[in-house]
Structure 1
């Protein structure tokens, strides 16, 4: 179909774009083949069956706001009939993943029974079919046998399930969307593109954020029919995008987009951390996709948790990103999936891994990966880093969800840290139980006491203040607490003024003030500017 002037429109900046797999929101641990298999078999299907056994109990539990992040299914208008249909369809269409999950458990049982410290070579004959060619049998130094996966090869197997992937589009943010770890996303009122996440044609759709695109050509490209066409057409507007205003020459500017998303800019060069963005017209005033520049030169991912590694955001920016920097991992275990392999298999280019205390120079910026302690339930997870970004002669340290249980790290890497103009640190000092995220990967369930003791915790105020002193931070910002209402379906939490996290933020402000250092909790929208250079100055502020 030839283009017509009437068909040329912009993708509305209120349009919500959600990647789904088997109707579940595609957080990284659901999207990767092996981790997705274990979640499908041990989290998602059991949750749906539990709901079908007692839908009233699930509905009653969710009337308590404190149960929002708990494992209760919200079927909304679909009710039991929709969930029953989803279970039947998943059992049929999810066979490649369900088989992989079953085979992983089978091989774990074989290793437990037969790996007695001798050679593991004879046990390769007992590998189930889905594990042949994609796994290795190994001992750790304590003599415990386990599976190690060749992740790049796993993405070449049927367990990737591109046919189960959907791009689901909503006209605007749904403030009542259920928690994505607890409930599937049912198709009511959505336009749905039945294409894999790696589909290059998605770039043409998302180009509509910045330029006019031919809506009717897109309707044909994505083979939309019936009511889906009208919903899809309603996602576009004649309103031109907001123009982007770059920072003044010689100025280093920081813009806070919410949670752990910070945009740094100097002389037109941009670096963004952990992009997890919201949309316009969601009832809140904050920076959104519409406030981004045409190109983001560098994206830095601190770790693979879904509130820091958002496939929803990254897919929309895929063609606008120059380089993505991720933490290096040996990979191969269920909880420690490889971020580079993941991104490359979903169509991202120029993905670079950084090992501990390695640095990378890109344009006006130097990115250094520092060690990351805590928040991962004491699991052996290496795909994580505390990024330090030096840009325009200024230093920014993003301590994300780290818990400085051994602060001597920052003394040993002091030379690499240098002068820090701003420390960003999370004070999620309570955290969910370890099994909330990692339960489907465990060989055997963990006891409740240990589960809570190993919770996914960040820092308290006292240790955070010590880190700030160690690195000589001139400004301290608390962030990544999951406070943003538009991210509630991802974070599973929100805080009232009496929450411990808020109290710790206030305490950190007091501790820093005693030393003459500024500290505050970032929320909604914040922008700061520093002159380039290394001299100590008070940053200018705009909100």
Structure 2
């Protein structure tokens, strides 16, 4: 689905060599394996590395100790318990492809006993998180009962133990009581649970269940390495995508005993040299979903990285197609299809700075990206407030614009619309916004200026509020209000109005979770009759009336702009 607006580079991906048999007369001193000593090899571009917490995919609201506590108790444990009560019901539901993405557990061939073991491990290993969840409930009840407008000072002594010294009790200007977390202290608490962190490695991509409905259980095609995410050993492991590493020595440092399985992740062949953008040119590459790479000859800016791998049977840019060094990674908001720890960990040692939205300051539903990333071992993280800019290089900068929409009317401020300027060209990434208030961008027209391209999400249906935020709510929400308040973006008419208002010369619909290799993360895939796809076609019709091209980005795309 390619329109004239994009000059696509139909890159023919040559499949990387399959795993090669290694023969050597020297036995490894680790378990198994016949590997020559000090063999320096490269990590295969097909290797999948997924971070797990309590064997569940490590998505952001599970990673943060305080939001993770409520999600563990009120989302993940009920899924496992429901499965153990009626495993055949889950199997029956999941046999219907239209039910993919629901809260139904697919054990991927594991037996009921293994799921019982998982439940026991979640209850015991997650005890600190489960206690924190109970303590959050107790604190809410305390404030509801005793904070009636008077001083909060006497209540501090009654704050539950896991929250003592980690929260501030406050009123808003309508005298409604609440509390905020000192988030950096939450990551110093037992509820952070570094010991529950595991990286599961696979030699090649494979189909798997929806990660928010099913745990990632051990299997013969996985190598589990229980080393915390902040360990510099992971930087060394992922650096082997570009520079060879002593495989046996690295396995020993990671405490991997199955050397055969570990060595199968590596190859002797070096990666192909990276081809930079041409001089005086801005090259824009669409990787999938909301992931876009903007490059000049000597600078690279990567937005919302969520990137697939070689060898998945699809033609697309992969993690092997990234430059050796990325000057800046920009995260637009906290949702897991824009903040992917899986991808970020693989790039940690290759990134100059990670730019994230400025946090609101300890709200339960609005954790700080900067605080989380620092707790996970990322040292170079900088927050951007609304209308603030960060200079990447001469004539390359990122500006944070205000963001309305996709958060179901919750007071969430850790979100920005990134605008990237490079060599006189301007690109606005409106991700999942809902431009219900046109005056917003009228007020900052002078900041936006001329716009070469508008990238905008057309996920105009969206999940209801409780799908993501349900475990964090203080009170139940009516069915009507839950249905009305959705995690949605723009429709075609909204996107066309915004593009016309901003004077965008090109419009690209993206960020709709359509790529098949992301189905286990987004829960959806391309269907011609799906509403967002239909809206993309309508958008092309609407913009064409104004002489502007619009295109739905899918799988991969590339265009170059000359410097202005």
Contact 2:426–2:452 (8 Å) recurs in 1: yes
Q: Say which SS state the counterpart of residue 110 (structure 1) adopts.
A: helix
Residue 443 in structure 1 maps to residue 454 in structure 2? no
Residue 270 in structure 1 maps to residue 286 in structure 2? no
1:474-513 to structure 2, matched below 5 A, reads: 474-513=505-544
Tell me which residue corresponds to 1:516.
547
Superposition deviation, residue 370 in structure 1: 0.7
Tell me which residue corresponds to 1:400.
431
Q: Say which SS state the counterpart of residue 527 (structure 1) adopts.
A: strand
Superposition deviation, residue 347 in structure 1: 0.9
2-side partners of 1:87 and 1:424: how far apart?
42
2-side partners of 1:183 and 1:368: how far apart?
38
Tell me which residue corresponds to 1:211.
243
Please point out which of 372, 387, 390 is paired with 1:357.
387
Tell me which residue corresponds to 1:388.
419
1-side partners of 2:199 and 2:150: how far apart?
48
Q: Say which SS state the counterpart of residue 305 (structure 1) adopts.
A: coil
Tell me which residue corresponds to 1:130.
162
1:65-464 to structure 2, matched below 5 A, reads: 65-175=97-207, 177-188=208-219, 189-225=221-257, 228-364=258-394, 365-464=396-495
Alignment TM-score, normalising by the size of structure 2: 0.92
Please point out which of 60, 65, 72 is paired with 1:33.
65
Contact 1:242–1:291 (8 Å) recurs in 2: no
Please, what is the CA RMSD of the aligned residues?
A: 1.4
Query: After the TM superposition, which parts of structure 1 deviate over 4 Å for at least 4 consecutive aligned residues?
Result: 1-6
Alignment TM-score, normalising by the size of structure 1: 0.96
Superposition deviation, residue 89 in structure 1: 1.3
1-side partners of 2:300 and 2:152: how far apart?
49
Consecutive unaligned residues in structure 1, runs of 5 or more: 534-543
Please point out which of 94, 100, 106 is paired with 1:62.
94
2-side partners of 1:233 and 1:170: how far apart?
12
Superposition deviation, residue 4 in structure 1: 6.3
Superposition deviation, residue 115 in structure 1: 1.4
Q: Specify which structure has the bigger relative contact order, considering alpha-carbon pairs within 8 angstroms and separated by 6 or more residues.
A: 2
Contact 1:4–1:214 (8 Å) recurs in 2: no
Consecutive unaligned residues in structure 2, runs of 5 or more: 1-27, 30-34
Superposition deviation, residue 341 in structure 1: 0.5
Superposition deviation, residue 459 in structure 1: 0.3
Q: Say which SS state the counterpart of residue 282 (structure 1) adopts.
A: coil
Superposition deviation, residue 406 in structure 1: 0.7
Count of matched residue positions in the alignment of Structure 1 and Structure 2: 530
1-side partners of 2:408 and 2:536: how far apart?
22
Residue 43 in structure 1 maps to residue 75 in structure 2? yes
